[in-house]
Structure 1
Amino acid sequence: MDITYRLNSDKSILGSETLSKIDETAFPDTNYFTNPITITKKFSSHDGYRWLVKSVQHPSKKEILIDLEERTPSIKEVFLSQTYKKNSSVISRLQIGVLVEVEHGYYTSIKKINGDIKSSKRYPDLRQSGEMHKRRLAIVVNATNKFIQVVPITSQAPLDNRDKSIFKISPDSLKDLMDYNQAGKESFALGSMIQSVSLSRVLPPLAKSKSNKTVISERSVGYPHRLTGADRKLLESALSIAVKLGDYSENKKKLDEEFKKNKKKDDEINLLKSQLAERESEIETLTSESKRHEAIMIIIEDHYRQIHTNKSKDELLKFIEDEIQTNMEILRG
C-alpha cells in the first residue's frame, strides 16, 4: 500500500510511504470526520512538523493521496513542556479554574488492502470514538510537573439537561479569548470527562491583549486567563457530582450547618469547662479554709484544756462553741 503526501498549493510531492506486507493502515479521514485534522510529519524539504490535512483521495484500492497545507500559526505556539523547562514555577500558576488549550489528537480511519475503509475500533492504541479529540479549550483542575488534570470544554449542548456534571460557561469567563467567544456559540464544561494530559499537549489559549493602547493577539505563557468566581463554583459543583459526592453547594451548606452546630457545642463545652474550673478553685479554697479552721480549733481546744482541766472533751468543745457564738453575735452588733 502506498501513501503519498502532496503540498496542497501546487500539488508537488512532499514525501511518500510504501507499506510492504502490511494489509491495513490508519490515515486521517477528512471525508468522514468533519473537524479540521492536523498531523505531524517531518518532510526533508520543509522545516515544519505540523500539517493541516486539506483533502484525502483514494486513486486505487492500494493508494492514499493526502494533500497538506503547512500549519504555520501567526502567533508562536509554546507548549507547557517548553515553558516548564525554562521556568518550572509556571506549574504553580496553573490553579483550579485556569483556562488552557489541549491538543488531544485526532480520530483516524483504517484502510484495508482490498480498498475497504473501516473504523479504528480494532486499534486501541489509536484515539477512539467517544474519547476527547482535536485541539480544544479546557479547565485546569490540578497541575504537577508530570501531568495536568483538566476538564474539557465542548460547544455541543448536553443531550441530558439533568446532568449536573455539565455546566454552561459564562461569556465573562471567555471574553478575552479569540476563538471561543463567537456570538451564538455556547461552551459547556464536561465535569465527568476529567482527564490527565501530558505537559507537551498543553498550551495557552489565543487571547486579546493590549500593547501601547493597541489590541493584539497573543498566547501568554503566564496563563492569566481563568473562570469567573461564579463559574469556578459551578466547576466545583460539577466535579463533586461527577465523582458521586452529590451537589457541591448542598454538601457545603450541610457542612457549614454542621460546623455551626459543632461550634455551638464546642462553645458550650468550653463554658462548662470554665465553670468546672471555677468550682474546682472554690473547692480548693474551701478545703484550705477548712484545714485552717481545723488547725485553729486544735489550738483553741488545747488552750482551754489547760484552763478547764476538770471538763470532759465534749463539755470543752461545747464551751468553745458557745464562746465563738457569743463573739459572733457581738461582732454582728
Structure 2
Amino acid sequence: MPATSSSRRRTTARAQDDSDIEDGPTQVTAREDVDEDEDEGPRRAKKEKRSLKGKSRATEAQQAVSNDDDDDDDDERIDVDNFADQPLAKADVQKINGLSSDWQTMVKTIHRSNNMVSDVAVALADNAEGEDAQKGLLELERLLKGLVDIENEMQINHDVLENLGQEVASGIEIDSIIQQYQENVQKTKESYFAKTTRQKYAKNETYRHFKESIYEIEHPGQAMPPVTELMPKEPGDDSDDDEDLEMGAVTQDYKCPLTLRPLENPFTSEVCGHSFSRDAIREYFANDRGSKDCPASGCTRSFRLSDCKPNRDLAKKIKQHERRQKKKEEEMDVEEVVE
C-alpha cells in the first residue's frame, strides 16, 4: 500500500507537470510581462531620476549664469535720476556743430518757402484786382510773417548751439548742456517775440521785397516810402533808435547808372545798395582791385568790385516789370483800336 501510494503520487505529479508544460507558454508569457512591468518601473524611475538630475544641474548652471548677468547688470546699471551731467569735451564739438548745421539747413528751407510766398503775392497783385485780391494779399502777408517767425526761431537754435560749440572748443567746461541750451533758446525767443511788428519784419529781406513789389504794382511810377510807414505803429517803436528802420527802399528805375539802359544781369553793391549791369560794372573797374567811387548819381560811397554780388531778386523784378510794361502797351493798343 505505501509503495503503491507513492507511485500514484509520482504519476499524478508527472501528469500535473505535463499539464503545466502544455499551459506553460501562456503562463510564462504572463509572468514575463509581469516581470517586464516590474523591471520597467525601476528602470523608468532611474531614467527619470537621471533626467531630473540633469535638468537640475542645467537649471543650476543657468541660474549661475543668470546670477552672473544680474551681477553684471547691477554693476553697469546707471541711476539715471541721480546721474550728474558730464561736462562736454573738445571731442564733442563736432557733434554740436553737426546739430547746428542741421538747424541751418532748416533755416534755408524755410527761407525758400518765404520767397515762394512772396512770388505768389506778386503774381496775385499783378493779375487780379478787387476786394478778393486784397483779401488774398493780406492772407499771404500774414502767412509770410508767420514763416519769418519760424525762420527766426530756427536761426536762434542754430546760433545758441554754435555759441556753445565755440565755448567747448575754447576749453570751457559746460555742465548741464541741455539746460543751458534750452534756457538760452527760450530767453532769445522771448526777446524776439517781445519786439514790435516793425522791429521784427521791417529789416527782413524777404518781407521788404514783398512790400516793395506789391507797392510798385499798386502805385506804378511812384517812389515807395520807408517800409515802416506801411506798417502800423505800436508801443515801443518810439524808443527804437535804429535809423535803418526809418530808411526807405532804394529808388529803382531798372536802369544801369553806367549804360543808362535797362539792367542786364544786375550786380548790386553791398556797400551802398546801387545796382549795375554785370558787364558794365566789370568794365568800370577793369583791372583795378581797389576801391572806386560809386558811379550812381548823388552817391558818395566807395566800394570794390568784390563788394558787388549777383542780385537774383532784382533780376526777377526786372522781368516782372518788363512783363507789366508789355501788358500796359498792349492794353493801350487795344484802346486805340477801339477808339
Same structural fold, with TM-score higher than 0.5 when normalized by the shorter chain: no
Does 1 or 2 have the higher relative contact order (CA < 8 Å, sep 6+)? 1
The alignment's TM-score, normalised by the length of structure 2, stands at 0.21
The TM-score with structure 1 as length reference comes to 0.22
- Greater fraction of residues in strand: 1
